[in-house]
Amino acid sequence: MITELRVTPRTPELPRPWGPDVPVHHVLICEVVLDDGRTGTGFCWTPTIGAKAVRALLEDDVRAALIGMADPHPQVVWDRLWRRLREAGGGGVTTIALAGVDMALWDLHCGGRGLVDVLGRRRSSVPVYGSGVNRHYTLEELVAQAERWKAAGYPAVKMKVGLPDLREDVERVAAVREVIGPDTPLMIDANQLWDLYRARRAVEALAPYGLHWLEEPLPADDVAAHVELRRSVAVPIAVGENVYTAYGFRDLLTAGACDVIQPNVVRVGGITPFLRIAELARTFGVPTYPHLLPEISGQLALTLPLPCMVEDVEDASFAALGLLAEPYPVEIDGPDLRVGDHPGLGLNWT
């Protein structure tokens, strides 16, 4: 039986701020305690908005619903909590709060085995692509970052676009392409900043640089516009980091709105819904590329049914932020991520 939920907030500074308005990340470490004394640990995460609201929901409504549950199986608990808590919203604060509890319960469910082996290991390593939140970088800073990616041996890289003047995006994409060479896959991420007209213009202007995919070109919940954009351009469309439920991914997939999905394990509510979303995508032949959070996303990527890559945003992992003690749950060695030998999730919080 579940007897307690403890929440500990952490706010680490980013060595490389994601912009003037994103100097830190917010992490809530969640511990779920059973009546026999066993404790599982998970986390909630948000770079900007909602950490205080998530904590309040966890310490009030989630705790009240959670304590006393007889069966701590993560899937059973997730479904019961979701039915109760979704009155507070279908995604965002609600699902972010659920993620902390769900991951803690998976940590418990694994017992002495690692998460990858409990879920089913499909590969021994997964490729890692270099990524940066770099729209605010000068051109010189962006080029220097691309040079670091190349030196690190990343097999693919991703950069931000969506500046007010499309000519600046073209100049910056051209500069990164020049650094990484013609054969390294180059992805671009617009973070929902375009409308359909501007997205089409951008794809046309950036076509000479061989885009591997275009990420979040439009508002995340505008399914119809994504369908129309995908129909009218040759560049693959990647979406999902700001989609919060399996229903949202179902709507994107059934409409034919995307080529790649990118669920964030925290924003969708934890490992339980993440796995359901990945299995849904498999039925459409669409790969799942986990969004951010390599310490947990990397473990999940080793179990996914279709091949994928893991995103490594420069100096933004929990290890880089000083939140974890060694041994870390995953190791990024050049172009590949491998999992360590640890029980549960392997997150040793400092």
Report how far residue 108's alpha carbon sits from residue 1's, in angstroms, rounded to the nearest whole number: 12
- Annotated catalytic residue 109: no
- Annotated catalytic residue 160: yes
Taken in order 132, 133, 135, 141, is the CA torsion positive or negative? negative
Burial of 164 (0-12, 13-18, 19+ CB in 10 A): exposed
Instruction: Name the active-site residue from 26, 160, 212, 226.
Output: 160
Cβ atoms of 348 and 318 closer than 8 Å: no
Instruction: Name the active-site residue from 158, 212, 291, 342.
Output: 291
Q: Which residues are marked as active site?
A: 160, 291
